[in-house]
Structure formats: C-alpha cells, structure tokens
Amino acid sequence: MGPAETTSLFLLLGIIVSKGLSSPLAGKEAWDYVEVRDGAHMFWWLYYADSQSSGYMDLPLVMWLQGGPGGSGSGFGNFEEIGPLNRDLKPRKTSWVQAASVLFVDNPVGTGFSYTDRPDVYATDVATVASDMLVLLKQFFTARAEFQNVPFYIFSESYGGKMAAAISMELVKAIDQGAVKCRFAGVALGDSWISPLDSVMTWGPYLYTTSLLDDFGLADVNRAAGEVKKAVEQQQFQKATELWSITESVVEQNTNGVNFYNILTQEPDEKVRASAGEDFIALQTRRHIRPLHSQSLSELMNGPIRKKLGIIPQNVTWGGQAEEVFSKMAGDFMRPVVDIVDQLLSAGVNVTVYNGQLDLIVDTMGQEQWLRQLKWEGLTGFNRLRWTALDDPVSPGVTGAFFKTYKNFAFYWILRAGHMIPSDQGPMALQMMKMITQQA
C-alpha cells in the first residue's frame, strides 16, 4: 500500500468554523503501514507541526506511545489527549501539534489499526516490541529524510513507557551503528510501568493516606501485594500478572471501586468490576484495555477516520486485536525495566519521568521508589536538589507542577492529574512538553 498524504479536511473545517478563513491553512498529515515482520503490519500517523511562528523543520518531532499493551496512540492519544482534534473533531486548544510534529504509532502489532495476519506473529516480550519499532523507525526516517536532522523525542504513557525505554535503548545502538539516521534527543516516561512491583507495593500506603482504605483494607491490600512480590522475586512473571489482577480486585472491594486512573473518581461502571471465577485476561482487558476503546472512540475510528485514511484493510477493525495483544504480553507484563532506564542514563540519553498526582495504577510513590534503585552516578546529585514549583499555565499563582532536573535526568510531579495527564491537565502537559523539548 502506498503512502497516503492529505490536508486534514476536519481540521480545515474546524479552523474555518472557529477562527474564520483568514487563519493559516490546516496542517499536513501522512500515514502508512510498515510490515515490521512477516505478517505483522504496523500503522503510523504523522501530523506535521502546525505553528504560526516556526516551520516544522524548526520544531521537534515527538513520537507518542500509548499503554495497555493494546492501547492505540492513533486513537486514544490522538483524539483524547494531544492530537489536533478531539473526539468530537473539534480543534483541541492544547494540541501538541502547535509545538511539534507528532507521530502516533499503534504498537505492539495488533494495536489500533496495526494488525497481524496470524496469531503467532504477536509480540510476547518488550524486546520484540523494540525490534519491531526499530524496523518502523528505520523505514520512517529513510522515507521522510527531512526529519533526520529534527530533534526526535519519544513520549509515552503507562505501559508505553516500558516500551519507550526499551525502544530508546535499541534506537541509541542503531544510531551508533549507522542503521537509523535520526537526531534522538530524549525520552519522556509518563505514568510509566517501569517497575510494576513498586507500583503495586505502594497502592496500600497511597490509598491509606488519601482516606481510601481503612486499617482492614490496608492489611488486605498489602497482603495481596506481598503475594505479587513473592512471584516477582521468584521470576514467575505470568503468575505475578495473575496476582496483580487479584490485588486490583482487593483494592476494588476495599475502596468501593476507586478508579485506578484517578483516585478522586470512582469506577463509574459496575461492569468493569471483577465477577466471581472470571478469567483474569478477560478481566484485565475489561479493566485496562476497554477504557481506551470507548464506544464513541471506536465509532469514530471505525467510521469517519478509517474512511478518511483509506488504507485500512477491510477485515481490520480498529481495536479488534487489542485483547490478544495484551494477553500475549501477559508473561512479560510484570517484568521491570529499571535496568534499561539505568543504561539510558549512562549512555547520556535525556530521560524525563513525569507522573500524575492522582494516578493509582502507576502512583508517584512507586516511581520514587524505583528511582532510588538506580545505579546512575548522577542520582546522589539529583537527590541533593530541591524541586521547583511551576505555575499552572492557565492559573498564574496556582502551582500546576513541581520539577527537578540534574544532568540528563528530569522529574515532573504533575498536580491534579491522574494517569492520562494530557486529558486531565492539557495546558500543563503542553507546557511540560515544551520544556522537555527545550522550547520553554
């Protein structure tokens, strides 16, 4: 299938409606598939930066990776978080495209519009996820050579952070070997599943101090988390994933259904809660994959968007293979990648961690906990620094975040945000992206 390229009609209409015809023309877009392995087709969608003051060659390129595994950047990240249009196809004020070209890739294969021809082609570990992405990036930077000298950043959310770390390390090696030509400038790990055990072990204390567990609940959650710990220590990762799921059910029961993505909200839908004897993969996809595939988003992606894209094979449904993606990765899900973050830091890569204050599934306490395990020589220097407060861009005088940076590492504590930071605090997220990409 040939490359597709167009000017977004939706964006154009949106701009005409919102600002009148004197506004600049809508941004350029491109999308395509890359067959990253035999039978494994990966979909990407690029929005060229659309800024009034700079051309896209003078702005960075940001690749966005969604979580799950099985969540779609081209769908959720694009229309619910950082793309030029929201789910109602109205312009998003905090779109990242105003300050960067944004590349959404539906990975691992089977995610979003990506698809596999055969069940044996799904990725089963993060190493395969990384090598698949390297095939895509190599092709991308060859086909779009104009981006070879543009600073390239990888931003991620949730499980996307685990993939982003592994991909970044492979990318550094590929660039050193001359296999990929690009100006890799850094990786940003948002609410990232870097050390799953540290997340699970801090659920109890975090919920207890925020009035979401009583003493009995704290003991129950800690006991369940302790079982996860045993499995991880014995390297029984499939079992650890099953026990993680059980621990979530214990949290659910004791908190009357707290929302794992934002502790100030309750799981609105009884249907996502555990039912007796349910298969854990079915339960976990219901809990963590379905929320990224709401009915309205599915209708958009499988309706007007697939029609606009024009290259989606007839028998491929956006999100149709998401459950399989998650299920095939279940044996790798609870493995930490703290060592990979260490390698990135030692290699001199700019690494940023950012985390939402109200996120439970990847709570900030857990992030701080794995941070302390880094062997990186700069850690002592980082720990000696105090953080700096940042104003919320829309409410000067009100703190929107804290941040701290030392050598090639930075940490952003984003206030009043849960797991999906750009959805919850769009202006702050945009501001942070500009700071990380050295535009602010």
Q: List the catalytic residue out of 41, 288, 293, 419.
A: 419
Q: How far is the CB of 416 from ligand NAG (least distance, A)?
A: 26
Nearer to ligand NAG, 79 or 403 (CB): 403
Q: Quick check: 120 binds ligand NAG (CB under 6 A)?
A: no
Q: How far is the CB of 185 from ligand NAG (least distance, A)?
A: 4
Q: How far is the CB of 70 from ligand NAG (least distance, A)?
A: 15
Q: Quick check: 59 binds ligand NAG (CB under 6 A)?
A: no
41 is catalytic: no
Q: Residues in contact with ligand NAG, total (CB under 6 A)?
A: 9
Q: List the catalytic residue out of 158, 192, 199, 327.
A: 158
Radius of gyration of the chain (CA): 21
Q: Quick check: 115 binds ligand NAG (CB under 6 A)?
A: yes
Residue recorded with tokens 């379905």: 290
Nearer to ligand NAG, 115 or 140 (CB): 115
Nearer to ligand NAG, 210 or 405 (CB): 405
Q: List the catalytic residue out of 50, 106, 132, 359.
A: 359
Of 99, 100, 185, 281, the one binding ligand NAG by CB under 6 A: 185
419 is catalytic: yes
Check if the beta carbon of residue 47 is closer than 8 Å to that of residue 101: yes
Q: In whole angstroms, what separates CA 1 from the centre of its chain? A: 28
**Structure token pair of residue 291:** 């929320």
The HSE-up count of residue 189 (CA atoms within 13 Å, CB side) is: 30
Q: How far is the CB of 351 from ligand NAG (least distance, A)?
A: 9
Q: Is 109 left (phi over 0), alpha (psi -120 to 50) or beta?
A: beta
Nearer to ligand NAG, 27 or 60 (CB): 60
Of 259, 350, 355, 357, the one binding ligand NAG by CB under 6 A: 350
Show the beta-strand stretches assigned E in 129-221.
151-157, 183-190
Q: How far is the CB of 315 from ligand NAG (least distance, A)?
A: 4
Q: Look at residue 356 and give its three-state secondary structure.
A: strand
Nearer to ligand NAG, 105 or 185 (CB): 185
Q: How far is the CB of 247 from ligand NAG (least distance, A)?
A: 34
CB atoms within 10 A of CB 249: 17
The burial class, CB within 10 Å (0-12 / 13-18 / 19+), for 194 is buried
158 is catalytic: yes
Q: Quick check: 117 binds ligand NAG (CB under 6 A)?
A: yes
**Structure token pair of residue 383:** 């720990």
Q: State how far the Cα of 309 lies from the Cα of 57, in Å rounded to an integer.
A: 24
**Structure token pair of residue 164:** 């982003």
- Interface residues for ligand NAG in 363-422 (CB under 6 A)? 408
Sequence-distant (6+) residues with CB within 8 A of 3 are: 30, 31, 32, 143
Sequence-distant (6+) residues with CB within 8 A of 17 are: none
Nearer to ligand NAG, 48 or 153 (CB): 153
Check if the beta carbon of residue 50 is closer than 8 Å to that of residue 60: no
Nearer to ligand NAG, 350 or 357 (CB): 350
Check if the beta carbon of residue 285 is closer than 8 Å to that of residue 70: yes
- Interface residues for ligand NAG in 284-323 (CB under 6 A)? 313, 315-316
- Interface residues for ligand NAG in 186-215 (CB under 6 A)? 186
Q: Which helix (H) or strand (E) holds 259?
A: strand 258-259
Q: How far is the CB of 425 from ligand NAG (least distance, A)?
A: 23
Q: Which residues are catalytic?
A: 158, 359, 419
User: Site residues (CB under 6 A) for ligand NAG?
Assistant: 115, 117, 185-186, 313, 315-316, 350, 408
